Amino acid sequence: METLDSPTGSHVEWCKQLIAATISSQISGSVTSENVSRDYKALRDGNKLAQMEEAPLFPGESIKAIVKDVMYICPFMGAVSGTLTVTDFKMYFKNVERDPHFILDVPLGVISRVEKIGAQSHGDNSCGIEIVCKDMRNLRLAYKQEEQRKLGIFENLNKHAFPLSNGQASTTNYKEKFPVNGWKVYDPVSEYKRQGLPNESWKISKINSNYEFCDTYPAIIVVPTSVKDDDLSKVAAFRAKGRVPVLSWIHPESQATITRCSQPLVGPNDKRCKEDEKYLQTIMDANAQSHKLIIFDARQNSVADTNKAKGGGYESESAYPNAELVFLEIHNIHVMRESLRKLKEIVYPSIDESRWLSNVDGTHWLEYIRVLLAGAVRIADKIESGKTSVVIHCSDGWDRTSQLTSLAMLMLDSYYRSIKGFESLIEKEWISFGHRFALRVGHGDDNHADADRSPIFLQFIDCVWQMTRQFPSAFEFNELFLITILDHLYSCLFGTFLCNCEQQRIKEDIYTKTISLWSYINSQLDEFSNPFFVNYENHVLYPVASMSHLELWVNYYVRWNPRMRPQMPIHQNLKELLAVKVELQKRVEDLQREVATRTISSSSERGSSPTHSVTPVHTSV
C-alpha cells in the first residue's frame, strides 16, 4: 500500500473522511468505499479481496494482529462479519462483502475498557468482547475460541490500548510530515507581547524557568512588577500546589486583569499570610480604574467550607478588605463524570423518543453547561463593564479555573475566536497551566474507574459550541474543528494532549518525539473554516446562559446513531459556501484595486490638464 508523507497523504484523507462521516452519523463509523478508495491505490493483482481487507496504516504504525471471521454486533444493523486488524494505534474492522463496504475504525486511545463477554448466540463465535469507548459508544465483537487462543485478541487489545498499564511508553510512533509546525502556534512571550506586556505594572518572570518554583506551572509567568521573588515564594507556600496568582489576560484599555491561582491554605483556624494579602492588593492597584478586586471561587460555598476543614479554603473579606468573594457554585469533577455517564446511557445505543427531553434533563449535563457559561459571563462583565480586575480559582486551579479563564477570554478577546487564536488559548490556559489531561482522560491507563477521570475539557468545548450557536458569525472555526479536537483528545495520535503539565512534556520529549494536532489542522485550514465568519475586533460576546438558549450537541454526543444523522450534507455545504466566499472576496479586492488605479489615473490627468473638464458618466438602468 502506498503511504504518502505529504499533508494530502493517508492520514489527512483518513481524518477528513472519518470525521466528516461521523458528523453525518454514518452507521457506527462506516465509511463508503468511494471515500476510502485512495487508501487502496496500491492494490495489486492476486488476492484482491484479502488486500482490500487490509487496514490502511499511518507512517510509523505497525500491525499487531489480524483475525478473520470476526462478528461485529452492530446495535443498528445486526451482526456484521469481517476482518479485524489490531495495530499499535487502532482497531480496524472491515466487511468487504457489503456495498458500500462497512468499516469500523477506532483509535485505541478512545478505548476506556475491554471486557470479555459470552457470545453463544452467534454460532461458532463463542468468544466475545465488549469495548467501552470514551467517545459515547460501546462496541461488541464475537470470534472463534481458537482464534482467541492463537492470536490473543483480548490480550492484544489490552496491551496496546493501555500501554502505561503494561509498562510501555505512552507516546505515539506517528511519523506523518506536515508543512506547518503546530508546536510553534503558541509562544508565551509573543502572546504576552500581543497583550501589551510587560508594562509598568506587570513583568514577565522566569522564576519558574526550571519548574522548581511550581512544577505544574509553565516556565514563563506574568506577575506584578513590584513583587520580589522572596515574597513570591512565601505566597506560593500559602497557595495549594504553589500555584500563585498569575496574569492570564489584561484589558487593552482599562488594564483590568484576569489572574488565576489555586485556593489559599487558610485551614480551619483561618491562617493568614501577609505576603499573599499584599500580593492581591498589588494586583488591584495595578488597575487604576477600580479600587476593588473580585475573587471568583468556582466551587460551591459548602464544598469550599469542607476544603477549609482539610487545610484549604478561601479568602476572607476581613483579611482581604478590598476584595469581594463570589462563589460560582460549579460542581466538582466527580459530579461531572457521573453526569456524562448518564448522558451516554440515554444516547447510545438506543434513544427513548417518548422520554428524550426528560432523560436529557435528568443527566443535568446542560444545567452544568449553563452554570459554567453563566460564571464566565459574570467574569467577562466585571472586566469589560465594571473595569474591575478579577482573581479566579477553584481548589487546585487546573480544572474549573481553566474552564472559566479560557471562556471569559474567548468572550472578551476576538483574537481567541480565530483558528490559531483558539489553538493558542488551549495551549496557554489548558496545556501550559497544567490541566491534567493524562489523568482526566486516562491516556493509556486501564483503570477506568479512576476517580481522577472527568470530562472537564469536553465541557469547555461544549460551552464553546454553545457560543458558536448563539454567535454563528463570530468564530473563524466550524463544528468540525471542535469535533476534531475532541477526537484527538482521546486518540493519542498527536502529542498535544499527552501528559499533565509542561514539565512532564519537556521530560518526555513530547515536542520532539510527537507531532502537534495543530500541524494537521493548520495544513488544511479550509476544512475547519466557518464561511459565515466576520472579524469584529474588540467586540465582546455575552452568550445567554439560559436553559432556553442551550441545546444538546447532537452532532457530537449522538453521532453514532444513524437515526439522528443530519438530513443535509452539512460539512460539504459549508465547504462550498466557503469557496464562494473566497471567490467573492477576491472579486471585491480586484474591484478595489481597479477603483484605486482609476482614481490615481484621474488625479494624474487633472494635475497635468487643469482646464480639462471631466464629463460624468451616467449609467441608465
pLDDT at 51 exceeding the cut of 60: no
Domains in the chain: ranges and CATH:
10-161 (2.30.29.30), 182-564 (no CATH)
Query: Given this model, what pLDDT does residue 577 score?
Result: 80
90 closest CA partner among 51, 56, 52: 56
Lowest mean pLDDT segment, chosen from 111-125, 139-153, 365-379, 459-473: 111-125
Lowest mean pLDDT segment, chosen from 299-303, 328-332, 560-564: 560-564
- What is the CB neighbour count within 10 angstroms for residue 280? 24
- Per-residue confidence band for 124, with pLDDT thresholds at 50, 70 and 90: low
- Per-residue confidence band for 451, with pLDDT thresholds at 50, 70 and 90: very high
148 closest CA partner among 118, 190, 169: 118
Q: Which of 51-60, 101-110, 402-411 has the highest mean pLDDT?
A: 402-411
Query: Given this model, what pLDDT does residue 93 score?
Result: 96
pLDDT at 5 exceeding the cut of 70: no
Marked catalytic residue, from 127, 133, 214, 394:
394
Enclosing H/E stretch for 297: strand 293-297
pLDDT at 96 exceeding the cut of 80: yes
> With DSSP H G I counted as helix, E B as strand and the rest as coil, what are the percentages for the chain, rounded to 5?
45, 15, 40
Query: Given this model, what pLDDT does residue 567 score?
Result: 62
Residues 208-228 have a mean pLDDT of 98
How do strand 111-118 and strand 389-393 relate by DSSP bridges? unpaired
530 closest CA partner among 617, 592, 467: 467
pLDDT at 398 exceeding the cut of 50: yes
pLDDT at 20 exceeding the cut of 70: no
pLDDT at 476 exceeding the cut of 50: yes
Binding-site members for substrate are 307-310, 332-333, 394-400
Query: Given this model, what pLDDT does residue 150 score?
Result: 63
pLDDT at 166 exceeding the cut of 70: yes
- Per-residue confidence band for 198, with pLDDT thresholds at 50, 70 and 90: very high
- Per-residue confidence band for 608, with pLDDT thresholds at 50, 70 and 90: low
Query: Given this model, what pLDDT does residue 478 score?
Result: 97
| Mean pLDDT taken over the chain | 88
Which residue is associated with the grid cell 506547518? 180
Helices (H) and strands (E) in the chain, counts: 22, 14
Residues 473/534, Cβ–Cβ less than 8 Å: yes
Please indicate whether residue 499 is annotated as part of the active site.
no
Residues 4/91, Cβ–Cβ less than 8 Å: no
Lowest mean pLDDT segment, chosen from 173-187, 205-219, 352-366, 566-580: 566-580
DSSP-assigned beta bridge partners for residue 117 = 128
Enclosing H/E stretch for 492: none
**Residues 6+ away with beta carbon under 8 Å from 44:** 51
Query: Given this model, what pLDDT does residue 109 score?
Result: 95
Whether cis (ω within 30° of 0) applies to the bond prior to 179 is no
Residues 206-222 have a mean pLDDT of 98
Query: Given this model, what pLDDT does residue 175 score?
Result: 86
Residues 484/494, Cβ–Cβ less than 8 Å: no
pLDDT tens readout for residues 592-606: 888 988 888 777 666
Three-class secondary structure of residue 338 per DSSP: helix
Which DSSP string corresponds to 217-285?
S-S-EEEETT--HHHHHHHHHTBGGG---EEEEE-TTT--EEEE---B--TTTT---HHHHHHHHHHHH
For residues 299, 302, 306, 309, the Cα torsion angle rounded to the nearest 10 degrees is 110
pLDDT at 40 exceeding the cut of 90: no
Percent of the chain with pLDDT over 70: 85
Residues 1-24 have a mean pLDDT of 42
pLDDT at 506 exceeding the cut of 60: yes
pLDDT tens readout for residues 455-470: 999 999 999 999 999 9
pLDDT at 211 exceeding the cut of 70: yes
Handedness of CA 20, 23, 27, 28 (dihedral sign): positive
For residues 529, 533, 538, 541, the Cα torsion angle rounded to the nearest 10 degrees is -100
pLDDT at 27 exceeding the cut of 90: no
**What does the alpha-carbon distance between residue 178 and residue 520 come to, in Å, rounded to a whole number?**
7
Binding-site members are 307-310, 332-333, 394-400
**What does the alpha-carbon distance between residue 544 and residue 546 come to, in Å, rounded to a whole number?**
6
How do strand 63-74 and strand 78-87 relate by DSSP bridges? antiparallel
pLDDT tens readout for residues 330-382: 999 999 999 999 999 999 999 999 999 999 999 999 999 999 999 999 999 99
pLDDT tens readout for residues 69-95: 999 999 998 999 999 999 999 999 999
pLDDT at 484 exceeding the cut of 80: yes
Lowest mean pLDDT segment, chosen from 23-27, 487-491, 534-538: 23-27
3-class SS letters over 82-123: EEEEEECCEEEEEECCCCCCEEEEEEHHHEEEEEEEECCCCC
Q: Model-level pTM greater than 0.95?
A: no
- Per-residue confidence band for 144, with pLDDT thresholds at 50, 70 and 90: confident
pLDDT at 209 exceeding the cut of 80: yes
